[in-house]
Structure 1
Amino acid sequence: MKTIKLRALEPSDLEFLYQVENDANNWLVSQTNQLFSYYTLEEYISQAHLDLYTAKQQRWVICEKKTNERLGFIDLFDFDARNRRVGVGILIAEEQNRGKGYASQALAKIIEYCFSYQNLHQIYANIITDNDASISLFSKFGFQKTGVKKDWIQVGNIYKDEAFFQLINMPPTPPPKGKLISFEDYFIFSNKKDS
C-alpha cells in the first residue's frame, strides 16, 4: 500500500481544487450545489495559511508520499473553540483510488492532529446513512453513531437520512487525591490535601 502525507493547500493546487469542487458527483458529500469560479478558489487558497482558530476551518491535500500525486482532501470545518470540537470530512477524488486505505491514513493523521496538537475534546462527522464505506471508515477509528437526522439531505426527488458520528477525546483520570489547578493545565495537580 502506498503511504500518504497531508499538506497545506498551495497555489499549484488550483486546477485540482477546481476539478474536485466542480464535479457534481461530489456535491452530495460536500453539501455544495453550485459551481466555483477560479477566482473564488484562488481567494480560498490565498486564505489557506490562516490557522484553525482564525478561519474556523482547515483543508489539507491528501498526497501520495513518494510521488506527491494529489489524491483528495481532508477538511476540518465548523471549528468551535469554546467547546473544543470540529467537524471532519474526507474526499478521495478519483473512484479508482478509493478503498485503498488513503482515507484511513488521512483520518488517523487528522485525529492525532486534533487531539494531540489542537487539544480538542471531540471530532464529529455527518454521514448519509447509506454511505457504508464512510460509516465503516469512521467506525474503525472509534467514532460512535449518536444520532440520525431524518430526511436531512435531498437527492433528486427523495430525502436521505444523515447520521451524526462523534469521537470524544477522553482525558486520563486525574490522581484520586490531586486537585485540578486550572482547566488549561489539566495535568498539573496541587499537592495540598483536601480540607
Structure 2
Amino acid sequence: MTSDSPWLVVGLGNPGAHYASTRHNVGHLTVDALAARVGAAPVSHRSGTHVVDARLGVLPGGAPGPRVILATSDSYMNTTGGPVARLMSFLGIAPDRLLVVHDDLDLPVHDLRLKTGGGEGGHNGLKSITQHLGTKDYHRLRIGIGRPPGRQDPADFVLGRIPAKERPDWDVTCERAADAVEDVVLRGLASAQQTLHTR
C-alpha cells in the first residue's frame, strides 16, 4: 500500500436517532464534524456503510489535502467489522491506511490518544473489526469518555445520552478529534501523535 492510497476514517457508533447522542457514538460525531468541514453529506454504500469521499485539509501552497473516505457503519457496534472489511475490499484499502475513531472508557473524559494496534480494551466495535480484518495492526483515535460514576453498569453508561449541559464540551472534543484526524491525513500518524500527546 503506497502513501498515495486514500485514508479510510471510520467513526464507530450505533445507527439510528436513539443512539445518536450517546457516549458510544462519539466516533460517529467526529466523522459528522469532518463531513461538515468538507461540506458533504454521507451517501449509502453497498458495503453497508455511509461514506463521504473528499479531500481533507490544505497542503502547503494551498492545494487541497489528500483524498479521504469518511465512513460510518449501518450495523450495530458489535457487527461493525463486516461492513468495514467489505468497504476496505471494495476500495482496495489496506489496514495501514485505516483510522478508527472510537470512545474509550479507560481514558479520562475528553482526552484524545492516537495508537496503532494493541488490544481492544473490551470495545465490541474494535473486536469486530479485528476479527474481520484478521489483524490488530490498524490505527485508532481514542476519545476518552471516562468511567461511569458510582456503581453504574459500563454498558448503561456508554449507551446513555450525553447530558444537554455537557454537549458544548463534547462539540469541542469532537472538533479536536477532527483536527487530530486531519493532522494524521496531512502529516502522518507519528507526527500527529507527537503533536496530540504533547499538548
TM-score w.r.t. length of structure 2 = 0.36
Largest Rg, 1 or 2: 1
Which structure has the highest strand share of the two? 1
Which structure has the highest helix share of the two? 2
